[in-house]
Amino acid sequence: MVSERMEVFRKHVKDDLCVRTSIIESSGSIVVMKAEITTLDDTVLATGHAEEVRGVGLVNKTSALENCETSAIGRALASLGIHGGEFASLNEVEEAKANQKAGTGTAKARENKPNNSWTKDLQNAFDDVVKRISTAKTKKELNTFLDEEMKVYEVISKASPSKGNELNTIVKNIEAVLA
C-alpha cells in the first residue's frame, strides 16, 4: 500500500529527500504521471511512471489523476527499495496474461512464469484484496482500501470476469454491513 510506504519513507528520511510529481499527459482519455524522489539539491534517486485510462474502473471514473499520481509515487518508492516484495507493474501482469492467451510473450515472461502460475498469482492477489477490504470498519476506510487496490481489482476483473463479479459482490456485502 502506497500510503504505508510513504509513512516509512517519511519516518526514515524526514526532510532529507523530496517526492515530486508531474503530469506528463492529461487528456480526455488518459493521464500519465511521473514521480521522482530527489535529494534537496535535485539529484534524482528514483523515478516512477504511471498511466491511467479515465473512466475505466471505479476510481478512474472520478479520480484518474489522483490514482495515477499515487501509482507513480508507488513505483518511485519501489525503485528506491521501499516496496511490498513485488516490483512488476500490474500492467506487466496484464500484458503477460494477454500474451499467454495469444500464445505469445517475451522469453523472460516464459522463463520466469510458467503458464499456470499466472492464475495462482491472480488468485493470491484476489485473496489479498478480499482480506484487506474485509478489515474495513467504516465506509470511508473501505473506499480508501478500494482506491488503493484499484489496479489489482482491474487486473483481476480483466483476467477473470467471474472473479471481478465475485469481488463486486463482496464489496457490496461489506458496504451493506457498514451502512
Q: For the chain, 179 residues long, give each residue's pLDDT as a single digit of tens.
A: 788 888 888 888 778 889 999 999 998 889 999 999 998 888 898 899 999 999 888 888 899 999 999 999 988 888 887 776 544 445 544 554 555 455 443 333 333 333 333 466 667 777 777 787 878 888 888 888 888 877 777 777 777 777 788 888 888 888 887 77
Collapsed DSSP state (helix, strand, coil) of residue 88: coil
User: Cell 479520480 appears where?
Assistant: 63
Helix, strand, coil fractions of the chain, as percent rounded to 5: 60, 15, 25
CB 28 within 8 Å of CB 35: no
Instruction: Tell me what pLDDT residue 110 has.
Output: 30
- Three-class SS state of 89: coil
Say what the pLDDT of residue 121 is. Answer: 64
Q: Model's pTM, two decimal places?
A: 0.50
Query: What would the grid cell of residue 36 be?
Result: 521522482
Residues 19, 40: contact at Cβ < 8 Å? no
- The number of CA neighbours under 13 Å toward the Cβ of 51 is 7
pLDDT for 102: 56
| Domains of the chain with CATH codes | 1-87 (3.30.160), 88-179 (no CATH)
How far apart CA 42 and CA 40 sit, in angstroms, is 5
Lookup: cell for 156 = 483481476
Write down the pLDDT at residue 85. Answer: 52
137, 123, 149: which is closest to 1 by C-alpha? 149
pLDDT at residue 128 in the model:
79
- How confident is the model at residue 88, as a pLDDT? 44
